[in-house]
Amino acid sequence: MNKLTATMGGMLLPLVLGGCQDTGQSSDKVIGKPEIQVIDGKVTAEVLEAFGRISSPLPSPDGSKIIFLLAYESIEENKSNSEIYSMDADGSNMKRLTETSSSESNIRWIDNGNKIAYLRKDDKTGKVQLHIMNADGSGVKCLSDVQNGIESFEISPDETKIIFSSTIAAYNKDEDLFKGLDKTSGRVVNDLMYKHWDEWVDNIPHPFIADFSEKGISESVDIMAGEPYECPMRPFGGADAFAWSPDSKSLVYVSRKLKGQDYAFSTNSDLYLYDIEGKNTKNLTEGNMGYDTNPQFSPDGKTLAWLSMQTPKYESDKKRLMLMDMSTGTKTDLTENWDYWPENFQWAKNGSKIWFNGYFQGVSPVFSIDVKTCKIDTVAMDVCDFADVVPVADNAVIALRHSMRYPNEICLISDSGVKQLTEINSELLSQLKLGEVKKVMVPTSDGKEMLTWVVLPPDFDPAKKYPAILYCQGGPQSAVSQFWSYRWNMMIMASNGYIVILPNRRGLPGFGTEWNRQISGDYGGQNMKDYLSAADYMAKESYVDEKKMAAVGASYGGFSVYWLAGHHEGRFAAFIAHAGIFNLEAQYLETEEMFFADFDLGGPFWDKENAIAQRTYANSPHKYVNNWSAPILVTVGELDYRILASQGMMAFNAAKMHGLEAEMLVFPNENHWVLQPQNAVLWQRVFFKFLDKYLK
């Protein structure tokens, strides 16, 4: 066992690397598929928690096998657990490979498909470590004993090296200041970005390269030693931040090499090429001031592909699919003449094209693009979303597929069409009565047409009148495609007897760059008119009870709810806002990623000469509380550092002081989302109890 040391600004970080004892078994309760009783075909909160959640499908090197993660949640245990499964490439011979109380993640094939590497918490150390096992699930072995655990990894193609991320201290504490105060909880803050998403920035991830073998990992080196920057980037970065060259002599990693206020106001991440032998680093994307992410080498190693945003501070900019000739440094934008963009991509096995999925007219199809001609072909498109596209042959890929009517399943996409390979949730779905999803084109106030999804209740009777829900999307630039959500789930809303209206208002991807960008600097503008257009259009339908319509949403959707509450002129009978922005001036100063607020709001509220910013703040929902007239439910998480819980608490207090009927649901241990099973169930119960009270 080797005891090594990494440095960070003079601070010593001990790492202990080597094998750890692991049998693959755990004494804790293993969460598996729960038993659920479906009554009258109704989708309930408990039913949602019973679905199996598929992710990370990965074909073996020869394409004969597919491994994937399958997670189930336990309401009783109040947590979830993911396990590794395998099946033949045609979907047959499915087998569960692991059975532990700790979730497996970051699965990778090694040894030419004979073994699988993955991450799981080690029972002895309590930290997430690297494990391997045989392809049939036998021979489980823990290969690492990293002091702070491993968050993500990629093994080199020749399987002699590994790049992994582990946390180090984010800053040096003033030891004299804290001398003798080992029980103090105080933090001294002298710059921005002191907290992020749902945590105080006490630690940051760093990339370590180590020797790899089936005996363990050793000789770990922090390739960003002394640099006070993140890699991968918080809060969502993982193994996609690393790309090995096919010859294993170099790798590319992603980092935003900024800190404090500079970090908070920038989206300037770059791709860095690290030479293994020379131990030197080169910035490949210097000069581009937006996000550069998701590097991937072509199969021959001659070309690097990645996703790039051009506009500084604009986190929802068009994602350009870029190529770089590694010998000349020449860069090419493959999607320059296409007004849409990839969400993720993979090289074809022969390197002639790139497969990707991306939002297009309210759905997420699978596309391919020829790397020489830039010709784009639509490979698979239906009333569904495809995601996580991975090639299995030159003319075939596997992908996840979901819609508003069903969660993820794995499918094969080839010249023969689309074939579903898994049926994880078919039995449960067969017991449910699901609402019909239809597409409606709604005229907007400026003479355009807006694709709007409408979900009808099960056993829909057009002769009856139904209460309706206007769904307001967050982001603000997150797609209203055929998404499946376990919180904002359209089938549970329909199952409770509601018509659900989902407008693809201004500011959403899938309808071109102009439509997507229009919302920035125009909060309270055209996108709100789009919502009102959809509400008015659907209110004219004979089956919609126009006097029993609610507006609901989270994040920017919560902002939308608060804004509509002050401008709806009697259209809505109730409102529900989760994690929403209520006071834009406070939001500008409270949020952690300042680049977002600075770009989208137009600038600081004190800049009186900035017409865009002043228009934004003039439309802040808190200035129109005097117009509020309908009951409102507010839900917040106190670990939400993106939109602080105080925003919702202000809104609730304002409603109560204004004399309105109002309720608030507070989760002290949730962030911007509601993730824990019991909290998720409570959220759904409160949601429908409130809606039923005022709309039924």
For residue 474, the surrounding DSSP H or E stretch is: none
Residue 16 is predicted with a pLDDT of 42
Joined together, the tokens standing for residue 60 give 């073996």
Contact between 244 and 156 (Cβ < 8 Å): yes
pLDDT band at 369 (very low <50, low <70, confident <90, very high): very high
99-111: average pLDDT? 97
440 has a pLDDT exceeding 90: yes
pLDDT in tens, 22-63: 555 545 789 999 999 999 999 999 999 999 999 999 999 999
pLDDT in tens, 305-348: 999 999 999 999 999 999 999 999 999 999 999 999 999 999 99
Q: Residue 576: name the closest of 555, 590, 594, 592 by CA.
A: 555
652-672: average pLDDT? 98
pLDDT in tens, 229-245: 999 999 999 999 999 99
Residue 15 is predicted with a pLDDT of 47
Number of alpha carbons in the 13 Å side-chain half-sphere of residue 108: 20
pLDDT band at 2 (very low <50, low <70, confident <90, very high): very low
Specify the 3-state DSSP secondary structure of 260: helix
498-508: average pLDDT? 98
DSSP state letter for 586: H
pLDDT band at 14 (very low <50, low <70, confident <90, very high): very low
Q: At what angle do helices 556-565 and 526-539 cross, to 10 degrees?
A: 70
554 has a pLDDT exceeding 70: yes
Joined together, the tokens standing for residue 39 give 């009554």
pLDDT band at 123 (very low <50, low <70, confident <90, very high): confident
Residue 174 is predicted with a pLDDT of 85
Dump the DSSP string for 633-689: EEEEETT-SSS-HHHHHHHHHHHHHTT--EEEEEETT--SS--SHHHHHHHHHHHHH
pLDDT band at 272 (very low <50, low <70, confident <90, very high): very high
Q: Residue 351: name the closest of 314, 305, 418 by CA.
A: 305
74 has a pLDDT exceeding 50: yes
291 has a pLDDT exceeding 90: yes
Contact between 118 and 131 (Cβ < 8 Å): yes
Dist. CA 634–CA 415, nearest whole Å: 49
10 has a pLDDT exceeding 70: no
Whose tokens are 């090429």? That residue is 273
56-79: average pLDDT? 97
- Reported in sequence order, the residue ranges of 269-312 that DSSP labels E, i.e. its strands, are 270-275, 281-283, 292-297, 303-308
Residue 332 is predicted with a pLDDT of 97
Dist. CA 146–CA 128, nearest whole Å: 8
Residue 454 is predicted with a pLDDT of 98
Residue 28 is predicted with a pLDDT of 78
Q: Percent of the chain scored above 90 by pLDDT?
A: 94
Residues for the chain: how many in total? 696
Mean pLDDT of the chain: 95
420 has a pLDDT exceeding 50: yes
Contact between 400 and 387 (Cβ < 8 Å): yes
pLDDT band at 175 (very low <50, low <70, confident <90, very high): confident
12 has a pLDDT exceeding 70: no
Dist. CA 471–CA 475, nearest whole Å: 13
Phi and psi (nearest 5°) for 274? Answer: -110, 125
Dist. CA 241–CA 72, nearest whole Å: 27
Residues that are catalytic? 555, 640, 672
Q: Longest C-alpha distance within the chain, in Å?
A: 76
Written as one letter, the residue type at 691 is L
Cβ neighbours, 10 Å, residue 335: 22
